[in-house]
């Protein structure tokens, strides 16, 4: 029997310690009997490519990893705004489109609406309505997770590698119990 493969999504690839974080998450996957696929695991030769060509090579490599994966765990901690990383949102949708389970975690336990307007307002600073569905992120993202029988674990914690690894492991434990 082959190991189930988990695509590890999130803005972790932008962190200064991205390779170490990916290695730690991949090791946690192995500890629970899974094969972790981290986007930076691909040995891409990008040096001779233009920035645009390099971006497209990374895109194609990540698509191939997601196609090989059986499921995904996404770091949905807000990144550069009130919501998760845009690339991670795409990956979550792509995996959902493939019919593969998507799990997630966030180190921000607040509801999405409270991150957008902490004063409980119905409109944001630009006069646009704020979705108030008592969800940790956009309803389409939470819907994708819940409809496949997976979960988003949220916990209010400092944004540190140790906390990310702790939450990631909590998700692995839930996946193991659900299997």
Give me the mean pLDDT over the 3-18 stretch.
96
Q: Are 36 and 8 in contact (CB under 8 A)?
A: yes
Query: What six digits make up the tokens of 160?
Result: 């540190």
Give the tens place of pLDDT for each residue, 42-99. Answer: 789 999 999 999 999 999 999 999 999 999 999 999 999 999 999 999 999 999 999 9
- The pLDDT value recorded for residue 2 is 64
Q: What pairs with residue 35 in β-bridges?
A: 5
- The pLDDT value recorded for residue 120 is 85
Please report which confidence band the pLDDT of residue 168 belongs to, taking 50, 70 and 90 as the band edges: very high
Nearest one of 70, 69, 68, 10 to 40, comparing CA atoms? 10
Q: How many CB atoms lie within 10 A of CB 68?
A: 11
- The pLDDT value recorded for residue 93 is 98
Q: Give the domains, in start order, of the chain with CATH numbers.
A: 4-178 (3.40.50.450)
Q: In angstroms, rounded to a whole number, what is the distance separating the alpha carbons of residues 35 and 31?
A: 9
Read off the pTM. Answer: 0.95
Q: In angstroms, rounded to a whole number, what is the distance separating the alpha carbons of residues 32 and 34?
A: 6
Give me the mean pLDDT over the 16-27 stretch.
97
To the nearest 10°, report the CA torsion of 159, 161, 167, 168: 140
Please tell me whether residue 173 adopts helix, strand or coil conformation: helix
Q: In angstroms, rounded to a whole number, what is the distance separating the alpha carbons of residues 67 and 7?
A: 9
What is the phi/psi pair of residue 81, to 5°?
155, -165
Give the tens place of pLDDT for each residue, 101-133. Answer: 999 999 999 999 999 997 889 999 899 999 999
Give me the mean pLDDT over the 145-150 stretch.
97
Answer whether residue 1 shows pLDDT above 60: no
Ordered DSSP codes for 121-135: -SB-TTS-B---SS-
To the nearest 10°, report the CA torsion of 82, 15, 11, 164: -80
């Amino acid at each position: 029997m082959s190991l189930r493969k988990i695509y590890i999504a999130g803005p972790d690839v932008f962190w200064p310690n991205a390779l170490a974080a990916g290695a730690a998450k991949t090791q946690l996957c192995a500890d629970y009997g899974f094969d972790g696929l981290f986007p930076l695991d691909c040995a891409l030769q990008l040096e001779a490519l233009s920035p645009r060509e390099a971006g497209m090579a990374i895109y194609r490599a990540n698509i191939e990893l997601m196609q090989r994966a059986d499921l995904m765990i996404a770091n949905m901690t807000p990144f550069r705004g009130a919501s998760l990383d845009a690339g991670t949102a795409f990956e979550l949708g792509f995996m959902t489109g493939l019919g593969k389970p998507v799990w997630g975690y966030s180190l921000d336990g607040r509801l999405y609406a409270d991150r957008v307007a902490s004063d409980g307002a119905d409109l944001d600073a630009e006069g646009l309505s704020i979705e108030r569905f008592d969800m940790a992120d956009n309803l389409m993202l939470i819907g994708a997770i819940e409809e496949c029988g997976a979960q988003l674990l949220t916990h209010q914690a400092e944004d540190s590698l140790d906390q990310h690894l702790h939450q990631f492991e909590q998700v692995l434990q839930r996946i193991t119990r659900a299997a």
